[in-house]
């Protein structure tokens, strides 16, 4: 059976690129408490928005969809799930809320992982929630011609319980030993978990919930206020590429973790940068609300919808956003694109 040992990490992970990423994340973590104390009311709004975004993004990665309106209602407990997709979305909401509120008291051991998986299927009639896979599974892909081929062969169902026990025990011991930065250990743990693929379904979603749990327990709580799952969704192709690259030779204990670890560190750093930028925008008392909306366009070349603007500035009302957009359009500073639900705005770079 594949063994797990985090007492000595591969030399490839001592690379300067990874050390630079970790150092940058540490700098943002040092400012974290100042950010959180700065605007508690706004941060509460950011937390609620991030919960909606995280729940939607993590499920969409796995092909589980509902409308934006239903997603909002489900996460805010204003609606009951009506179909299989919504039951799985509601289950994710439950586990995410549990982790947000109790992470200090949740140790990522085997029993906890089984309980979290059970809760992930709380609203589902499935009997597999909270139980390891009962048959061998494969990770497959279908090419352009429609042919299905095996991309990765996880551990067998027989090997899985012992493997998860060994994985979690050695990971917890490594974190407690404090020899290596948790930011190095966490992506390795996530990759190993995904390569075991311990459940018939829900492995990807549970891996992202475990990522948040372990990050929070290590003091990196940015994922509460800025959706890490959404960043992964927006870079999904890269996510699957690095997952595949780092899983080659995994069964033989001959895989290379570097690309997956680098990707995960870049995701965490991106979350901190965005979190920092939003809080600093709130703290700039010299700007009016309309000027803050203008600055959002100053800082990006991407399109911004009204919904995105409201998410980035949760203390600004819809009517104020609409007035600001109308003013910027009249000035010619921004250009309107699309129509209806696809309406968005982009800075006019010719101005």
The reply, when asked if residue 60 is annotated as ligand binding, is: no
Residue linked to tokens 């993590």: 58
- CB neighbour list of residue 227: distance below 8 Å, 6 or more residues apart: 50, 53, 54, 57, 271
SS3 153: coil
The reply, when asked if residue 294 is annotated as ligand binding, is: no
Q: CA-to-CA distance for 210 and 194, rounded, in angstroms?
A: 11
The reply, when asked if residue 20 is annotated as ligand binding, is: no
Helices (H), 15-136: 16-38, 40-61, 68-75, 84-102, 110-120
The reply, when asked if residue 146 is annotated as ligand binding, is: no
The reply, when asked if residue 305 is annotated as ligand binding, is: no
The reply, when asked if residue 333 is annotated as ligand binding, is: no
b/e per residue 5-27 (b: at least 16 CB within 10 A): ebeebeeebeeeebeebbebbee
Out of 100, 117, 166, 197, the active site residue is 197
* Catalytic residue list contains 197: yes
| Long-range interactions of 154-157: CB distance < 8 A, separation 24+ | 154/195, 154/196, 154/197, 155/1, 155/2, 155/195, 155/196, 155/197, 155/198, 155/251, 157/132, 157/133
Q: Could you tell me the two tokens for 203?
A: 């492995």
Q: CA-to-CA distance for 222 and 101, rounded, in angstroms?
A: 14
Closest to 76 measured CA to CA, from 122, 41, 45, 43: 45
Provide φ and ψ at 288, rounded to 5°. -75, 170
Residue 287 neighbours by CB distance under 10 Å: 14
The reply, when asked if residue 240 is annotated as ligand binding, is: yes
The reply, when asked if residue 207 is annotated as ligand binding, is: yes
Report the binding-site residues. 201-208, 239-240
Please identify every residue annotated as catalytic.
197
Annotation: binding site for ATP? 201-208, 239-240
């Amino acid at each position: 059976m594949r063994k797990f040992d985090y007492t000595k990490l591969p030399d490839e992970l001592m690379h300067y690129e990874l050390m630079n990423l970790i150092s940058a994340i540490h700098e943002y973590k040092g400012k974290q408490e100042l950010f959180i104390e700065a605007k508690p009311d706004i941060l509460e709004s950011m937390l609620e928005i991030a919960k909606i975004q995280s729940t939607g993004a993590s499920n969409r990665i796995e092909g589980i969809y509902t409308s934006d309106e239903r997603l909002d209602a489900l996460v805010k407990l204003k609606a009951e799930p009506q179909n299989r997709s919504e039951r799985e979305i509601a289950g994710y909401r439950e586990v995410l809320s549990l982790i947000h509120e109790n992470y200090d008291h949740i140790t990522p051991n085997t029993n906890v992982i089984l309980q979290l998986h059970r809760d992930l299927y709380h609203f589902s009639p499935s009997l597999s929630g909270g139980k390891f896979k009962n048959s061998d599974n494969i990770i497959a892909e279908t090419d352009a011609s429609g042919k299905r081929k095996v991309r990765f062969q996880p551990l067998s169902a027989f090997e899985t319980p012992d493997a998860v026990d060994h994985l979690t025990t050695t990971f917890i011991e490594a974190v407690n030993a404090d020899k290596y930065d948790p930011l190095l250990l966490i992506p390795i743990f996530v990759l190993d978990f995904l390569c075991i693929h311990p459940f018939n379904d829900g492995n990807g979603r549970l891996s992202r919930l475990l990522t948040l749990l372990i990050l929070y327990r290590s003091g990196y709580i940015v994922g509460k206020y800025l959706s890490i799952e959404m960043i992964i969704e927006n870079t999904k192709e890269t996510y699957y590429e690095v997952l595949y690259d780092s899983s080659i030779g995994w069964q033989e204990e001959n895989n290379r973790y570097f690309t997956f670890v680098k990707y995960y560190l870049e995701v965490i750093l991106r979350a901190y940068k965005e979190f920092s930028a939003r809080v600093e925008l709130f703290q700039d008392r010299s700007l009016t609300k309309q000027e803050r909306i203008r600055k959002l366009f100053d800082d990006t070349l991407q399109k911004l919808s009204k919904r995105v603007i409201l998410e980035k500035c949760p203390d600004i009302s819809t009517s104020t956003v609409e007035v600001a957009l109308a003013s910027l359009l009249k000035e010619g500073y921004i250009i309107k694109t699309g129509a209806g639900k696809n309406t968005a705005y982009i800075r006019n770079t010719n101005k």
